[in-house]
Amino acid sequence: GAVVSQHPSWVICKSGTSVKIECRSLDFQATTMFWYRQFPKQSLMLMATSNEGSKATYEQGVEKDKFLINHASLTLSTLTVTSAHPEDSSFYICSARDLNRREGYEQYFGPGTRLTVT
């Protein structure tokens, strides 16, 4: 099956610094990737849709200047949390669509990145 990887799997950073999280589709191409955030005991919350070669589309309430998304190739999207604060501590998950899938719809999810801001 299709595999999506994320790096790093966990990261601890100091308040005010920036952190970059990578999302890669390993064995398929994805023009669209999605970024989610999940707090403990809660569901996944869609943050933004990452489109290869164009600007990301952010969900309402998500600060685009704080969460910078770059989708530079068909297999890589990055999320940069700028000037991180403790309230940004969360589990960040990306997903990707298989460009060549013709029927139904399915997203393949990465394993997630645990961000802790101290």
Shortest spacing between CB 11 and other proteins, in angstroms: 14
Binding status of residue 106 toward other proteins by CB under 8 A: yes
DSSP secondary structure letters along 43-66: --EEEEEEETTS--EEPTT--TTT
Q: Pick one of 39, 55, 101, 118: the residue that binds other proteins (CB under 8 A).
A: 101
Q: Pick one of 19, 21, 88, 112: the residue that binds other proteins (CB under 8 A).
A: 112
User: Per CB under 8 A, which of residues 6..25 are in contact with other proteins?
Assistant: 6
User: Per CB under 8 A, which of residues 33..92 are in contact with other proteins?
Assistant: 34, 36, 43-46, 49, 91
Read off φ and ψ for residue 16, nearest 5 degrees.
Answer: 100, -15
Please calculate the CA angle 54-20-61 and round it to the nearest 5 degrees. 65
Per-residue burial over 2-31, b = 16 or more CB atoms within 10 Å of its CB, e = otherwise: bebebeeeebebeeeeebebbbbbeebebe
Shortest spacing between CB 85 and other proteins, in angstroms: 22
Residue ranges that bind other proteins, judged by CB under 8 A: 1, 4, 6, 32, 34, 36, 43-46, 49, 91, 93, 95, 97, 101, 104-112, 114
